[in-house]
Amino acid sequence: MIVNIVDSRTRKYRWKRVQAIVEAVWHDNACNDSDQADVGDELDESYVLYEERNNLSLTEAVAWAMSLSCPVTLYLYDPGGTDKL
């Protein structure tokens, strides 16, 4: 389930294709002024540390992240966007 979204797209009105990454929301605990989440249990079947999908529509990216049973932050990038980091 999505509990936070970070939209790093430079082309914010492009929705047909995005790169979507989900990370366990507790990764955000170190950020200034963040809400604090419990650290998940790697032995739990629903545990997600990091997953990535490319060339999804924005709708598909949100649906995919919402379908996860653990709390995640959804990161959105332009297609191929994280290659430039």
In the chain, the percentage of residues whose pLDDT exceeds 90 is 64
Q: Is the dihedral of CA 6, 61, 85, 35 positive or negative?
A: positive
**Which residues of the chain have a pLDDT value below 50?**
84-85
Q: What is the 3-state secondary structure (H, E, C) of the chain?
A: CEEEEEECCCCCCCCCCEEEEEEEHHHHHHCCCCCCCCCCCCCCCCCCCEEEEEEECHHHHHHHHHHCCCCEEEEEECCCHHHHC
pLDDT at 46: 61
- pLDDT at position 74 is 97
Q: What is the pLDDT of residue 44?
A: 65
Mean pLDDT over each residue of the chain, to the nearest integer = 88
